Structure 1
Amino acid sequence: MPGKYFKNIMVAAFLLSGFISMAQKGNFTIEFTQQNSDAKNTGIIDAFVKIKNTSGNSVTGEFDVHSNHEDLYLVQRKPKPITLQGRDSVFIPVKAIISNTAKAGSEPSIEAVFTTTEGTSENVTLPITIKERKLVKMFLLETNLIYENIGDSLTIPIRISNDGNTDQKINIVTRYPNFIAKDMMESETVKVRAFTDTLINLKKIVNKTILSQEDFSITITTLYQSGDIIGISNVTASSIKQDRRYSTQFSPEYAQSFNRSNQVSASYLQNSSGGTAYYLYANAEAEINNSTIYTNIDANLWTNTNQLFLRNTWLGYKNKTMGVLAGNISKFSDINLVGRGAQAYYNTSENSKIEVGSIDKSYNLADFSIPSGGTSAWASYYHKGGWLDKGFESSLIYDNDKFSGFTNYLITSRFNVFQKKHLSLRAGGGLSSVNNEVTGENKTGGTVDMVATGRYKNFFYNSTNYLSSGYYAGVRKGVFSLNERLNWVKENYNFWALYNYISVDPKSFSDQLFYPSQFSTSRYNIGASRRINKLTVSLSPYLYKEKRRESLFGNTPQDYTLDATRANVGLIFNNVSSSLSLTFEGGIFNSNADPISNQFHFKTNLIYNWKFLNILTTYQHNYFNLGEIIANQQLNNDKTFYNVMFNPSAVLKFFDSKLVLYTGATLASNLFTDRITQLNGRADYRLSPDFSIFANGYYSDISNNPYAINSFQVGLTKQFRPIRIDSSKSDLEVYVYYETNGKGPEDTHNTPVANQLVIISGKAFRTNDQGIIKYRHLPPGDYEVRPVNSNEWHAYSRTVNVIQDTKVAIGLTKTSTIKGSVTYIETERSFEITKKKSGLSIIAIDDSGNVFQTRTDDTGNFILYVPKGGYTLTLEKAGVSEYVEVENNNRTVDAVPDTTTQVKFNLNIKEKRIETRKFTSRGFPSQSTGDDSDKKKKKKK
C-alpha cells in the first residue's frame, strides 16, 4: 500500500510539473516580424524579433541570436538581458552580414532564442536565401606587347576574377588588325568558378607581316553569356627599336571602306541613261604647331551636260581660341540652313563661345549661274557647353527664302535649369517674326520646350515636351508634343509605361493656294520585358489614335480618324557571332475612311545577323496609318493593303582580306507597286595597306516604271597619314645603368645596361651597348618612361616632361625577394568554413607609397620581387571569411638584396560560443554561456 501511494504521488508530481511548464511556456511569445529574407553577398540583413509578455506578471530573461552557417555573420555576439512588464512587448533589431564567399542558392538561417530566468526557452528561425550575384572583372596584366623577330610570341595575359557567387561562362572576344586574323575577331569561352581567379593567355606568333608593322592595337572585350559587357580594354603591340623617330602611325581603317579619313579617291561612273561622270573625293588634315587646317572636297563632273558640282566642300582653320570654315555650310536648328558661305567661332573664355555665320542658299560652289534660294545669317552664344551640357545658349537667325517669299527673324534661348541627383531639367523658348514679301503680312510666333530626366533607385523617367504657335518661323510650326516615359528596371526585368502625343496645326497666309496638313497622333503604352540568358522576351499592348485633315485636289478639307488597339510581342537573341530579332505587332482598328469596322491588321519584322550575313525581312497586312488609307483612296483600289520586303546583305573576304565584297539586295512588293527589285554591290581590292581599287554596281527595276536603272563605277583610293608640322619638337635620350653602389649615373663604376627593354608611352626600345636609347622629334608633352623589370633588377617608371632636347638617366637596383605563405589556424571549437588559399591578394607598400601586388597560388604560397627598402605587407581581407582574423596583419618587413625575406600569415578561425545547461531541482533546463558563471547570486531579503 505505501508503495502504491508513493507511485501515485510521483505521477501527480510529474503531471503538476507539466502544467507548470505549460504555464511558464505560455507566459511569452517570440517571433520574427518577417518570415524570410533574400540577400546577395556582402549584403546586410536587417530583421526584428518581437517578444511579447502574454501574462500579467513581469518576465525576465536573456535574448540570444546565432546563425547556423559561416555564410551569415551576426553583428550581435553576446546575450542581451530582457525584462518585460505585464502585457508588454519589445522589438529587438538583429543585424547580420552575408559573407562575400556565400554561394547562390545556399540557405543559412538566423535563430533567435529567449530564455527566462526560470529556465523556460523558446526559439524561432528566420531562413535566408542567397540570391545570385554576377560580379566578374577583367584585368589585363600587360598592356604593352613587344616583338622583335619572326617567331616571337605575342602573349596577352588576362586575369578573369569572379567575385560573384555563381560559376560563370565568359566569352573573350579579341579584335585583331586584319593582317593578324582573317576574320579580325576571335572568340574564346572560359568557365570561371565562383570566388576564384583564372589566368588566360592569348597568343599569336609574329610573322613577316606583323614584323613589318611598327605598332598596332588589339581590343579585348569580355562578356557574360547573356551578352552583357564585363569590360573593354586595349593592348598596344610595338616593335623594338634602339632609335626611333616620332610619327603618327598610319591606320588602314579596314572597317570603314566607305568613309575613310585622310584620303583621295577618284572614280568614273556610267549609268543606263547614257550619263557619264568623274568623281573626286578627298579630305586632309594638317596640324601646324597648335593649329589645324582641314579640308574636304566632293566634286563630280557630268560629261553629257558639262556641268561641275562641288558639294560638301570646305576649307577650315582652328586653334584653341578660334576657328573659321568656308565653303558648303550647314546649320541645323529651328531653321535648317544649308548653302555656300562661311562661319566662325571665338572662345571668349574657357566656358564661353560666340559663333557667327552667313550663307547664300545655293548648294553648288562651282556654279553661280543657278538662281539663289535666298540668304541667311546667324549669331549664337554658348556658355558651359550649352543647354545639353551644363550651361545655356542663345541664337539669333535671319532667313530670307525666295522660294516661299518669306523673311524670317528668330531668337531662341535654352537653359540647363538644374542637375540634381535624381532630376535634371532643361528648358527654353523662342520668339519669331514672319514677313510675307508679296502681301506685306507680318505674323509673330513663339515656342517653349522642356526636357526632364531622372532616376530614383530602380525608376527611370523621361519627359520631353514642345509647343509652338502656328505662325512660328521654325521648321516645327504649330506643334504640340508630349513624350512621357517611366521605366522600372530590376535585374533581368524591365517594365515601362509611356504616353506620346503630337499635334501639328500650322497656319497659312492668305495667298497660299494649299492648306497645310493638320494631324495628330497619340499612343498609350505599357510593356514588360524579361531577359533569360541570351534571350529577351517583351510584351507591349497599346492604344493608338490618329487624326488628319487633308485637302485633296483643292477640295474642301476633310477630317479622317483611325483608332487601333494593338500589342507588340518581341524576341531578341544575342550571341557572340549572331543575333536574331523577331517582332510581331497587330490588333484591331477602325477608321471613318474605311466603311468596314473592327478590321484585323498586323506586321512582323525579322532581323538576323550571322558573321558575314545580314537579313532584314518584313510583312504587313492591312493599313497601319491614315496615310496608307488616303493614298489607296486616290487609286480607287478596293484590295486589302499589304507590304512585303526581303533585304539580304553580306560582306565576303578573300585572299587574307585583300579582296572584300559588299553585296545587297532589296526585293519588295506592295499594293501600290507589284514588284521592286534592287541590287547593289561593291568590291574593294587592297594593293597595299594604303592603296586600293574598287568597283560599284547598282541595279533597280520597279514594275510600274518601264525603264530599269543601273550604274557602274570604278575607282581607286589612296590613304595617307595626317600632316604634322611642329617647329617645337625635341629629342629624348635615356641612359640606363646598374646602380650597384647607391651613387648616381656620374659614378664611373656604374655599368651601362645593354639590351634593356624600355617602354616610352607605349613604344618599345632596347638599349645599345652604351645603355642608350633615343626617341627623336617628339612634340611637347609628358612621356612615361618605364624599364621592363626582371626578377633581379628593378626601376620605377617615371614621367618626363619634354619641351626641349632632354636626357634622362635611370638606375636599375638589385631586387629583393619576399616569400610567404598563408596558413589557417583552427581548434575543435572553430567554425567550419571554406579555407580559401588561392587568389588571395598580398600588397606591399614602401615608404614612398609605391605599391607592389601579388596573389597566392593554390597552396597559399606567394612571392614578390621588390627594390630594397622597408615595406608594409598586408593580406587583403577580400575573399576571406568574416569568421577569420588575420594575425599580425599590416606588418613591417625590410627587403635586402640577395636575401629572401620569409613572411607567414596565420588566419585564425574564430571559435563558436559554447553553451552549457544546468538543471534546477525542478528538472527544468536553464541556459547560460560558457563565459558566464553557472551560479547566480541571490539577493538577501
Structure 2
Amino acid sequence: MLVKYYKILLFLAFLGSGLSAWTQNKSFNIEFTNNKIETNSKGVIDAYVKITNISSESIEGVFDAHSSHEAIYLSLKKSKNITIPAHDSIFIPIKAIVATTAKAGNQSTIEAVFTIFETKETKSVFLPVYIRERKLVKVMLLETNLIYERIGDSLAIPIRVSNEGNTAQKVTILARYPDFITRNAIENTDINIQAFTDTIIVLKKIVNKTLLNQEDITINITALYSNGDIINNGTVRASPIRQDRRYVSPYNPDYNLTFNQTNQVTASIQHNSDNTNAYFIYANAQAEINDGILQANVDVNWWENSDQVFLRNTWLSYKEKNYGATIGNVSKFFDLNLIGRGAEGFFKPNEKSTIEAGAIDKTYNLIDDSSLSFGKSAWAMYTHNNGWMQKKGYENTIIYDDDTYSGTKNYLASSRFSLYTSENFNLRAGGAISNLTSEIETGSKIGGAGEVQFNGKLKNLFYSSSNYLSSGYFSGMRKGVINLNERVNLPVGKFNLWGVYNYLSAKPESFANQFTSTHFSTARYDAGISRRFSSLILSLSPYYYTESRKEQLLSTTNPQGYSMKAARMTLGLTYYNTPTKQNVSLSFEGGQFTANTMDKKEFHFKTNFIYSWKILNLLAFYQYNNFYLGEIIANSQLGIQKVYTNLTISPTLQQKFFNDKLTINLGMVYSKNSMINESLQVNGRLDYDISKDFSLFVYNYYSDFSTSINTLNTIQLGLTKRFNPIKIDKTRSELEVYVYYETGDKNKTTAKNTPATNQLVLIDGKAFRTDNKGILKYRSLPAGSYSIKPVNTNEWYANAVKATINTDTKIVIGLNKTASIKGSLSYIATDKSFDIAKKKGGLPIIAIDDSGNVFTTKTDENGNFVLYVPKGSYTVSLEKTGVSEYVEVENNNQLINAAPDDIKEVKFTLAIKEKRVETRKFSSSGFKKQ
C-alpha cells in the first residue's frame, strides 16, 4: 500500500516539475508581423517584431537583431533592454538598408532574439529577405556629332553602358549604317556586363572615299536586352570638315527604292512569246521652287504588234500650302469612281477648310481620240477639319457624270459628318441623294443613301458598327445595298473574345438599256476566342453562313434562285520567332453545308499555310468542296459533276549578293483545281546597282495552263537612272563666320584680335574648319534659325550663337581664354552613420555663371574633377541626384571668381547621416515611443 502511495506522489512530483518547466518555456512569444520581405534591393526595408508576455508576471530581458548577409545592414547595432508587463505586448521596429550592391537571388535572413534576465530563457525568430531581380541597364551616346576630315580617319562612336541593376545582363548594340559604309546595313555588338558595373564600347568605321564625299550621314543606334526588349534608341550624325560648303538636302537612306522615289527615269523593252516587242518609259520628277512643289509623272508604252501608244498615269501638278492644281490623267474615288484625262485643283481659304474641284473626259489614254471617250464628269468638294473621320470634321461633295457607255446621266450630292468624338465613343453619319436619267427612257429616278458608323469601349469591352443603306436607283456604285457590320471584342488577360455579325444584300435597279447586276445577299454570324502563349497565338471561331443569289445561266432564259447554308468552324495558329526570323501561320476552316441544288448535307473544308524564314516565303492552300454559291454556279455552267477541289502552292525567294548590289527575287505559283486542271506561273526579277543612282533590271514571266495549248513567256530588260532632289530657291543666303582670339581687353581700342585658324566650328551639326584668315563659309542656306558653336578646347571657349538667316549674313565670334576650376570630394562618418557605399566616381558637377550659362563635368573614380570656363563668377555645385539619400553635402553651392592663369580649387564634404532606432509599445491607443 505504501509502495502504491509512493508511486502516486512520485508521479505528481514529476507532473508538477513538468508543468513548471512548461510554464517557464511558455512565459513569452516572439514573432515577426510578416512572413517574408521581397525587395528589389533599393532603399530601406521595415519589419516589426512582436513580443507577447503570456505569463502573469512582468518580465525583463534583452532584445537583439542580426543579419545573416552583409548585403543587409541593420540600423540596430546594440542590444536593447526591454520590460514587458504581464499579459501585455510590445512591438519593436527593425529598419534595414539593402546595399546597392546586393545581387538578385540572395536569400538573407534577419534574426530577432529575446532573452529573459532572470531565467535566461531565450527565443529567436527568422525573417527571410529575398532580393528580386532588378533590370536597369542605361546606355548613353557620349558623342552625337562626329566629324572626319580625310580618307583613313576613324569614325568612332563611344557608347557608355551602365548596369545599375542587380543581375548580370547581356546587351546587344545594333548600329544601322547607310549601305555604302558597310555591307550589312545593321551590325550588332554583344556585351556581357556584370551587376553594378559600367563599361565603354567604341564602334569604329574607317572613312573611305565614298563616305568622305557625303555631305551628312545618320547612324541609328539601338540597345536591346537579350529578350529583345529595347533599352533605348539614339542617333549619331557624322559630317566631314569643310572650310566652304553648299547646303544640300539631307541624305535619304531609302532613296534607291525603285518606283518609290521622285526624280528617276526607267526605260525598258519587253519581248513576248509571240515574237512581238513592247517599249516602256516611266519617269517622275519633283522640284521645290521657293514655297511650291512642281511634280510631273510620265508613263508611256508602245506595242509593236498593234502600233499603239498608251500614255497613262501621266500628269503635271503644282502645289503650295494653300492652293494647287493637276492636269493630265486624274483619278478620284467617291460614291462614283472617276478616272480620265482632265484637271483638278484645290484652294484653302483658311487652315481648317479645303475646296476641291475638277473635270475629266473619261478615257484612260491621254492621247486617245475624243470618239473613244466614255463620257464626261465633274465634281466639287468642301472639306472641314480634314473630313468626317476627324474630330468636328465634315465633307460635302457634288458630282455630275455623263456616262455614254450606259447611256445615263447622274447627279449626286453627299454629306458626311463627325457628330461626336470622345476617348470612349465616336459617332459619324452621312447621306447622299441622286438623280438618274436615261437617253432612251423618259423621266428620272431619284435615289438616296445613308450610313452610320460608331465605335468605342465600355470598360474592357470594345465595339464597332458600320451600317450602309442605299436605294435601287442610287447613282453611286453601291445600288440597292444593305451592308451591316457589327463587332464586339473583350480582352481578358491573355484571352481575347469576340463576336461579329456581317450582312450584305444588293438589289440594284436599272433602265432597260442597262446591264442588270446579280441580286444576292450574304450573312455571317461569328463568335471567337484566342489565347496568346508567348510567341504562339491560338484562335477558335465557330460561325454560321448563309448566301442567296439570282443568276441566269447561259442555257436558261429566266434567272434562277440559288441558296446556301453552312455551319463552320475556323481554327487558327500563328507562331513568330524574332531571333530566328521565322513566322508560321496555319488555319483550318470547315463544316457542313446545304444548297437548294443538293439532296443532302455535304462536308467541305479549306486550309491555309504560310511560312517565312529569312529569304523564303511559302504559301500553300487547299480547298475541298464548294464554299460559295459562285463555285456551285460555275460548276453547273461547265457541267462539272465531281467534287470541287483546289490546291495552290506558291514559294518566293529573295536574296542579295555582292555587298547588296545584286538583288534576286524568284516566285512560283502552282495551282490544280477541278475547273482548269493545272496551271504553272513562274516569275523572277534581277536588280543590279551599277552605281548609287544607276541600276539594271531583268524581269521574266512564264505561264502555262493545261486548258491552253499556248504558253506565255515574256522577258523585260530595263535601266533606271535616279537624280538628286531638285531645289530652286531664290531666297537662299550665304553665311560667313569669322572666328578670332580675344587676346586683349575688348572694351579698349588697343585690343588685338588674332584670327583663329584651323578652328573647328559646328553649324547645326555640320563641321567646318576656318581658313588661315579665321573665316568659313556656308552657302545656299535656306531661311531659318541656325546654331553656330565653336568646338571648345581646354584653353579657348565661346558660347554657341543662334542666328536667323534670311539674307547674306556675316557673324563674328570671339574666343575667350578659359579659366580652370579644380576640385575634389570626401566623405565623413561617425560610428552611428549608415553603412553605405561611398560613391566617388561619375558624380555630376555644375557651374552656373551670372548670366545663367551652365557648365558641367563629372568626377573621376577618385572624386576629382576639373572644369574649363570663361572668366567670371560662378556657383559651383555637386548635384544631389548622383549622391545617396543618406548623405548631406555640407558646403554645396560655393561661389568662385574664375580668371585665366588662376586655378581655383573647390572641395565638397559629404556627411553620412546617423541611424536612429525606436521601440514602440502596443496599447489600446496605438504605438508609443519608449
Indicate the TM-score class for this superposition, using the shorter chain for normalisation: 0.7 to 0.9
Aligned: 1:146 with 2:147:
yes
1:545 aligns with 2:544: yes
Deviations 1:134-158 (A, max 9, x none): 5545433323222221211111223
Partner-residue secondary structure (3-state), 1:468: strand
Q: Structure 1's 44 and 657: CA in aligned 2 closer, same or farther, altered over 3 A?
A: same
- What does residue 717 of structure 2 align with? 714
- Secondary structure in 1 aligned to 2:581? strand
* Structure 2: distance between partners of 1:115 and 1:556: 101
1:279 and 2:285 aligned: no
Shift of 1:469: 1.1
Counting only pairs closer than 5 Å after superposition, residues 174-323 of structure 1 correspond to structure 2 as 174-248=175-249, 253=254, 255-323=256-324
Q: Retained in 2: the 8 A contact 1:406–1:435?
A: yes
- Amino acid corresponding to residue 407 of structure 1 in structure 2: N
Deviation of residue 336 (structure 1)? 3.7
In the other structure, the counterpart of 1:591 is: 593
Deviation at 1:589, TM superposition (A): 1.6
> Counterpart of 1:937?
none
2:505 equivalent to 1:505 = yes
Instruction: Give the deviation of 1:653 after TM superposition.
Output: 2.6
Query: Following the alignment from structure 2 to structure 1, what is the Cα–Cα distance between the partners of residues 126 and 266?
Result: 77
Q: Which residue of 2 aligns with 1:773?
A: 776
Q: 2:608 aligns with which of 590, 598, 603?
A: 603
Aligned twin of 1:379: 381
CA contact (8 A) 2:702 2:714 kept: yes
Q: Deviations over 1:28-58 (max 9, x none)?
A: x9855xx778776879999999999999xxx
Find out whether 1:467 has 2:472 as its counterpart. Answer: no
Cα distance in 1 for residues equivalent to 2:162 and 2:633: 60
- 1-structure distance, mates of 2:45, 2:627: 54
SS at 2:372's partner residue? coil
The counterpart of 2:811, out of the listed 808, 811, 820, is 808
Partner of 2:351: 350
Counterpart in the other structure of 1:440 = 444
SS of equivalent residue, structure 1 residue 369: helix
Number of the residue aligned with 1:615: 617
Do the aligned partners of residues 583 and 682 (structure 1) sit closer, same or farther apart at CA in structure 2, a change above 3 Å counting?
Answer: closer
The Cα offsets for residues 808-847 of structure 1, whole Å up to 9 and x where unpaired, read as 1122223344455565555555555555555544444444
1:534-582 per-residue CA deviation (whole Å, 9 max, x = no partner) reads xx1222222233222133445432221222233322220112xx51011
* Pairwise CA distance, 1:257: 2.8
Please say which of residues 885-894 and 135-144 is displaced more in the overlay: 885-894
2: CA distance, partners of 1:332 / 1:126: 72
Deviation for aligned residue 1:313: 1.9
C-alpha displacement at 1:529, in angstroms? 1.8
The residue aligned with 2:60 is none
Structure with the greater alpha carbon radius of gyration: 2
Q: Deviations over 1:750-795 (max 9, x none)?
A: 2211101111123221101111101122221111112122233222
Letter in 2 for 1:209: T
8 Å CA contact 2:740, 2:813 repeated in 1: yes
Distance 1:378 1:96 in 2: 76
Return the letter of the residue paired with 2:500: N
Which secondary structure does the structure 1 equivalent of 2:356 belong to? strand
2:531 is matched by which residue type in structure 1? Answer: A
Correspondence for 1:926: none
Contact (CA 8 Å) 1:884, 1:907: kept in 2 or not? yes
Distance 1:89 1:564 in 2: 70
CA distance in 2, matches of 1:92, 1:670: 83
CA spacing shift, 1:325–1:354, aligned 2, 3 Å: same
Q: Does the CA-based 8 Å contact 1:250-1:720 persist in structure 2?
A: no
Amino acid at match of 1:607: S
Whether the 8 Å CA contact 1:871–1:893 is kept in 2: the answer is yes
CA distance in 2, matches of 1:443, 1:843: 75
- State the partner residue of 1:526: 529
User: Would you say the 8 A contact 1:99–1:882 is kept in 2?
Assistant: no
Q: Tell me what 2:703 maps to.
A: 700
Equivalent pair of 1:647/1:664 in contact (CA under 8 Å)? yes
Cα distance, 1:246 vs structure 2: 2.2
Q: Is the 8 A contact 1:431 1:444 kept in 2?
A: yes
Provide the C-alpha distance between the structure 1 equivalents of 2:920 and 2:453, rounded to a whole number of angstroms: 75
Query: C-alpha root-mean-square deviation of aligned residues, in Å?
Result: 5.0
Match of 1:648 in 2: 652
Contact 2:686 2:697 in 1 (8 A): yes
Q: Say which SS state the counterpart of residue 417 (structure 1) adopts.
A: strand
Shift of 1:212: 2.9
Q: Is contact 1:745-1:811 (8 Å) kept? A: no
1:209-236 CA deviation, whole Å, 9 max, x = no partner? 3223333333333333333444443333
Tell me if structure 2 keeps the 8 A contact 1:664–1:680: yes
Q: Equivalents in 2 of 1:889, 1:131: separation in Å?
A: 36
Corresponding position of 2:488: 484
Q: Residue 572 of structure 2 aligns with which residue?
A: 568
In 1: Cα distance, 2:92 partner to 2:816 partner: 61
Letter in 1 for 2:524: T
State the AA in 2 paired with 1:650: Q
Equivalent pair of 1:31/1:124 in contact (CA under 8 Å):
no
Equivalent in the alignment of 2:753: 750
> Is 1:689 the equivalent of 2:653?
no
Deviates more, 1:779-788 or 1:194-203: 194-203
Task: Check conservation: 2:75, 2:834, Cα contact below 8 A.
Answer: no
TM-aligned CA deviation for residue 314 of structure 1:
1.7
CA deviation profile, 1:237-260 (whole Å, cap 9, x unmatched)? 222211122233675846513433
- Tell me the SS of whatever aligns to 1:441: strand
Residue range with higher mean Cα deviation, 628-637 or 10-19: 10-19
Q: Classify the secondary structure of the residue corresponding to 1:557.
A: strand
Residue 783 of structure 1 corresponds to 786
CA positional deviation for 1:900: 4.8
Distance of aligned partners of 1:819 and 1:661 in 2 relative to their CA distance in 1, 3 Å threshold: farther
**Structure 2 unaligned regions, length at least 5:** 1-8, 56-62, 77-86, 554-558, 922-926
| TM-aligned CA distance change 1:599 to 1:377, over 3 Å | closer
Compute the displacement of 1:90 (Å): 15
Q: How does 1:42-61 map to 2 (within 5 A)?
A: none
Query: Which amino acid in structure 2 is aligned with residue 509 of structure 1?
Result: E
Task: Using the TM superposition, give the Cα deviation of residue 430 of structure 1 relative to its aligned residue in structure 2, in angstroms.
Answer: 2.4
The separation in 1 between residues aligned to 2:123 and 2:355, in whole angstroms, is 78
- SS of equivalent to 2:632: helix
CA 1:481–1:632: 2 relative to 1, 3 Å: same
Identity of aligned residues (%): 40
**Deviation (angstroms), 1:729:** 1.9
User: Residue 837 and residue 768 in structure 1: after superposition, are their counterparts in 2 closer, same or farther (change >3 A)?
Assistant: same
Q: Which residue pairs with 1:82 in the alignment?
A: none
* Aligned pairs, number: 886
Q: Please say if residues 608 and 619 of structure 2, whose CA atoms lie closer than 8 Å, have aligned partners that are also in contact.
A: no
8 A contact 1:64–1:114 mirrored in 2: yes
Aligned counterparts of 1:90 and 1:376: Cα–Cα separation in 2: 91
Which residue is 2:582 aligned to?
580
CA contact (8 A) 1:757 1:765 kept: yes
Matches within 5 A, 1:865-880: 865-869=868-872, 870-877=874-881
TM-score by length of 1: 0.80
Matched residue SS, 2:567: strand
The one-letter amino acid paired with 2:277 is T
Q: Is the 8 A contact 1:100 1:881 kept in 2?
A: no
CA distance in 2: counterparts of 1:697 and 1:178, whole angstroms: 28
Paired residues of 1:645 and 1:669 also in contact (CA < 8 A): no
Change in CA separation of 1:15 and 1:252 when aligned onto 2, cut-off 3 Å = closer
Per-residue deviation, 1:497 = 2.4
Aligned mates of 2:328, 2:46 — CA distance in 1: 68
Kindly indicate whether the alpha-carbon contact (under 8 Å) linking 2:755 and 2:772 is maintained by their aligned counterparts in 1.
Answer: yes
Letter in 2 for 1:690: D
